Amino acid sequence: MYQTFFKLAFTRMDPERAHHLAFRWIRLAAAVPVLRTFIAAALAPRHRELRTEALGLRMHGPFGLAAGFDKNAVAIDGLTMLGFDHIEIGTVTALAQPGNPKKRLFRLLPDRALINRMGFNNEGSAAVAQRLAERRPAFRSVVGVNIGKTKIVPEAEATADYVTSTERLARHADYLVVNVSSPNTPGLRNLQATESLRPLLTAVREAADRTVTDRRVPLLVKIAPDLADDDIDAVADLAVELGLDGIIATNTTISREGLVSDPSLTAETGGLSGAPLKERSLAVLRRLYARVGDRITLVGVGGIEDAEDAWQRILAGATLIQGYSAFIYQGPFWSRAVHKGLAARLAASPYATLAEAVGAGARDASARKESAA
């Protein structure tokens, strides 16, 4: 039903307008107690065998919604109602900003992909913090907060900008993510260099610790798929050195390799997400796991379309997985299908729990390599 509606209605709309329309429906449904309970029962059945512990948090499962869909924390209950085990809001910046000029979101239908150059459009960390403080959740949910640099703030002042958002948002976050990997804010990806990333992450960690004194807020960093292998290794080593809780791999890519959509679309600037990102994001995840093992939590995101993609990320070392673009293409039953498929794959595997499966593929590959040698 959704696929038919998507083809007949959403594909005829501007993608950003369609997003806001669908978002409004989710929020309206979640506002009606009887309706949200009915929808959650249908779309968010819980599989006990998928229960996950990560970042010191207990979750119904490993599958969450990546940052970018709910930038301002306005539909957490609605998205939980659809079955996501954690919701990552944002990216949120210290100052409110409108983002880049429209048109800034494009569908690449033959590639099952999106290009966006939204530019961190959001209401600012003060407004989002107030909304989170006033929230009265209808469902138990894990909420991550993804923070980024305000566009008008010079790169040299980026750390103070992130610290401002941290001081406002850390107390409301189940975990906090430093986003230094979006291609849509000038100079942002320069912060992935370890000489810039070390003081930034250190300052954010210190700000979170002095702001929230009754618990330790887990801190993660989100990296780009376009990093060279040596740079991936450097970020992994830095994360371990600083005691970070996790790395999210990966954000969108600036690569356009292998696309089959109309060149007028593929030439649009911005970050590419969806199916074409699948292999590269998986390769980055495998490299990270080979470097850090079980010392920190890895979150796999990028090109996840179905349960098999999610399962491969788990075997490659991801404790948590996230999606976004396939949600646009597959609709409200997507999360349910992923959970059902994951449960089936776990049952058919030699592993008793998901925790046992995390990194199993990478360890098996390493063992085979050593045996052959």
Question: Residues forming the annotated binding site?
Answer: 67-71, 91, 116-120, 146, 179, 184, 222, 250-252, 274, 303, 324-325
The number of beta carbons lying within 10 Å of the beta carbon of residue 191 is: 24
Show binding-site residues for substrate.
71, 116-120, 179, 184, 251-252
Residues whose CB is less than 8 angstroms from the CB of residue 236 and which lie 6 or more positions away in sequence, other chains included = 247, 287, 288, 291, 292
Structure tokens at 324: 């976004």
CA–CA separation, 289 and 236 (whole Å): 9
The kind and range of the H/E element at 335 are: helix 334-348
Residues whose CB is less than 8 angstroms from the CB of residue 76 and which lie 6 or more positions away in sequence, other chains included = 70, 87, 89, 135, 137, 141, 143
Identify the active-site residue in 182, 261, 273, 281: 182
Show binding-site residues for FMN.
67-71, 91, 146, 179, 222, 250, 274, 303, 324-325
Long-range (24+ apart) CB contacts under 8 A made by 344-348 are 344/307, 345/307, 345/308, 345/311, 346/49, 346/50, 347/49
Residues whose CB is less than 8 angstroms from the CB of residue 215 and which lie 6 or more positions away in sequence, other chains included = none
Annotated catalytic residue 261? no
Q: Are 64 and 74 in contact (CB under 8 A)?
A: no
The kind and range of the H/E element at 58 are: strand 57-59
State which amino acid sits at residue 34: V
The number of beta carbons lying within 10 Å of the beta carbon of residue 249 is: 34
SS3 content of the chain, % helix, strand, coil (to 5): 50, 15, 35
Residues whose CB is less than 8 angstroms from the CB of residue 319 and which lie 6 or more positions away in sequence, other chains included = 52, 54, 62, 297, 298, 299, 355, 358
Q: What are phi and psi of 190, to 5 degrees?
A: -65, -25
CA–CA separation, 284 and 228 (whole Å): 10
> Which of 254, 249, 3 shows the shortest CA–CA distance to 112?
3
Q: Which residues are catalytic?
A: 182
